[in-house]
Amino acid sequence: MLNFTVGPVQAGQEVLEIGAQQVPYFRTPEFSRVMLENEALVLKFAQAPQGARAVFLTGSGTAAMEAAVMNVFTGADKVLLVNGGGFGQRFHELLGIHEIPFEEIKLAHGKALTAQDLAPYENQGFTAFLVNIHETSTGVHYDGNLIADFCRRNGLLLVVDAISSFLADNCPMEDWGVDVMITGSQKALACPPGISVLMLSQAAQKRIEASRVKSMYFNLKDALKNGERGQTPFTPAVGTLLQIHARLKALEASGGREAETVRVAELARDFRSRLKNLPLDICSESLSNAVTPLATRHCSAYDIFTALKDEYGIWVCPNGGDTKDRIFRVGHIGALTVKDNETLVHALEELAHRGLLK
Amino acid sequence: MLNFTVGPVQAGQEVLEIGAQQVPYFRTPEFSRVMLENEALVLKFAQAPQGARAVFLTGSGTAAMEAAVMNVFTGADKVLLVNGGGFGQRFHELLGIHEIPFEEIKLAHGKALTAQDLAPYENQGFTAFLVNIHETSTGVHYDGNLIADFCRRNGLLLVVDAISSFLADNCPMEDWGVDVMITGSQKALACPPGISVLMLSQAAQKRIEASRVKSMYFNLKDALKNGERGQTPFTPAVGTLLQIHARLKALEASGGREAETVRVAELARDFRSRLKNLPLDICSESLSNAVTPLATRHCSAYDIFTALKDEYGIWVCPNGGDTKDRIFRVGHIGALTVKDNETLVHALEELAHRGLLK
């Protein structure tokens, strides 16, 4: 199968080789060294500020989203949330569950965030800003500089879900003044799912230190303390952490974050340039390099997903909910090539010729 | 390396082969079928009662322990906890964090649970019983029949952490009247760590249905609902779930739970029979098949762990905390053989000859 979803994505050879091996015991100086290197490299690729730390949590991206909300915010906060799709809505629900006061900027499907959207919220007593920088469910990538300026002007703590954007788009943690940045193993890190990562500025660490979080598993203070010696409070997904290590080292050896972002951007550009003769419309005002959301015109998008899977051995990413029959998404992260783009576009053209894609 | 720890343990060939492959996209009917088979097989091997369900949570065993405490208990409960080591203490802390009223039976290191220990707690208004059936930190396996009888007499909901005991010891969920049984992927399931499993009786499901748990990630009601169609609320550790599937199918094909428990029991018996001439003392009154806890007499147990690792390529399981220098543990779960036992015992004998083990 050829995998154009937004995760799990295709892994490189160095990651698969580790998957084929026995998982080692981990309460050892050897594994601690791996974890300390993981932390240093992931912070380097996040362009994190001095004194930043990273926590590797065994869980999906939502685990890290919930851990961030629980450890970094309190009932004394007033959070401004951008809610432009399924993952913005997830933060909406998390803030509700944990009783964090918030207001939200609700954006219609596919819409970018503009200065006009932000204007009414200037000097309104907010303490923090929460955003999925790439709303993966719709394929809209928000303007990080616009958000960074707003946060600086208003003195806000900035929490960014960059789960599908990290390494695919430029997300400079220090330049943007990001305090918490989240990613996951199965996106551009191109490893199996199971690990989520929280990168934390000193201000975020200070909040975590003061937090009285009502959870053992999501206690980030405990995770940070264990992390000082390259360990975790509980048995982590050791195999996936070793795969992340191999991937980070391979990235480092081949030009680092910059080269990877350029590579993904070029794959996305190439794919989008091939769509001219297809009855498909890009339905995002502001694209991430990670994914191209495509609306069908006169057929079910979910049927195209199924036909590609069953007849062509290709996975694209189906949408859920309201847009299931209207939109599917094509990912550009993981071990994909221009040749893979050609294969997918060829299959789409054939579906169009057959009258199925219309 | 030869791995005698209690997890991650050595995987079989069928599990490693899947680790070497790309992780597939999972919001598909194909993956749903895998998950439904996983649920059916794990419940079969747990000897679960009619109407039981299983939830596969992406997280370590502690994630499942916390999810159980959060979803199954409320402030109206009065829980009786057996606390005989590090994992009993973990439940102690979890009950505290989530403000569940409880009392505990505190057992000294290595001590079994007796009828005398339970006697003072008869008819004392308890509503639930919580136990690590095998306290992995000390290698003490509690008497399930004794506990089951006590719970039946007192009408208690029974929650059993069987993380390291499942498949290694006989843990008959229906016979014992267990309402929640927990295990993890990296123990006798012999897969990489990253997935924990909760098996739930109908009574437990009823409690979960009524629960107003303040968590999204640990909302078991949501997990059960998604599980009906073989899916999970969030991206799970898809690769590990496929490995669990391969392992469960392989177990099913080679005699099921019974054959595996006999195999592990025989490995444990064989290892223990080889210890006569070594200056090591088994320090548990009631052994699980999963592990043999061994106390050194005149040397540091942690030094033995290090020497075995660095000089013999063998991992045993070091203890933490107070007993770090006094005790190490030898696991019998995962892909181990009698020949592996010989290799370990030979290494221990050599360490004794060299005057290091004494």
* pLDDT tens-digit map of B170-228: 999 999 999 999 999 999 999 999 999 999 999 999 999 999 999 999 999 999 999 99
Residue range A256-284, pLDDT digits in tens: 999 999 999 999 999 999 999 999 999 99
Q: What is the mean pLDDT of residues B65-81?
A: 98
Q: What is the mean pLDDT of residues A147-159?
A: 98
**Residue A26 pLDDT:** 98
Q: How far is B287 from chain A (nearest CA, A)?
A: 23
pTM summary value: 0.98
- Least CB–CB distance from A22: residue in B3, B94, B317: B3
Q: Which residues of A touch B21 (CB under 8 A)?
A: 16, 19
Residue range A99-141, pLDDT digits in tens: 999 999 999 999 999 999 999 999 999 999 999 999 999 999 9
**Residue B253 pLDDT:** 98
Q: What is the mean pLDDT of residues B317-336?
A: 96
Q: Is there a contact between B192 and A21 if contact means CB atoms under 8 Å apart?
A: no
**Residue A315 pLDDT:** 98
**Residue A69 pLDDT:** 98
**Residue B79 pLDDT:** 98
HSE-CB at B175 with a 13 A cutoff on CA atoms is 9
Q: How far is A64 from chain B (nearest CA, A)?
A: 9
Rounded distance, CA A308 to CA A302, Å? 10
Residue range A315-326, pLDDT digits in tens: 999 999 999 999
Look over chain B and give the mean of its residue pLDDT values, rounded to a whole number.
98
Which residues, other chains included, contact B44 with Cβ-Cβ below 8 Å and sequence gap of 6+? B256, B257
Sign of the alpha-carbon dihedral angle for B294, B298, B302, B305: negative
Q: Which residues of B touch A233 (CB under 8 A)?
A: 62
Rounded distance, CA A131 to CA A122, Å? 16
Q: What's the ipTM?
A: 0.98
Q: How far is B50 from chain A (nearest CA, A)?
A: 30
Q: Is there a contact between A20 and B23 if contact means CB atoms under 8 Å apart?
A: no
pLDDT-derived band at A165, boundaries 50, 70, 90: very high
Q: Is there a contact between B186 and A23 if contact means CB atoms under 8 Å apart?
A: yes
Q: How far is A14 from chain B (nearest CA, A)?
A: 10
**Contact of A66 with B217, CB cutoff 8 Å:** yes
Q: What is the mean pLDDT of residues B113-123?
A: 98
- Least CB–CB distance from A214: residue in B3, B97, B239: B97
Residue range B11-32, pLDDT digits in tens: 999 999 999 999 999 999 999 9
User: What would the DSSP string read from start to end of B7-24?
Assistant: SS-PPPHHHHHHHTSPPP
Residue of B nearest to A70 (CA): B215
Rounded distance, CA B48 to CA B55, Å? 13
Residue of A nearest to B29 (CA): A306
Rounded distance, CA A58 to CA A231, Å? 12
**Residue A275 pLDDT:** 97
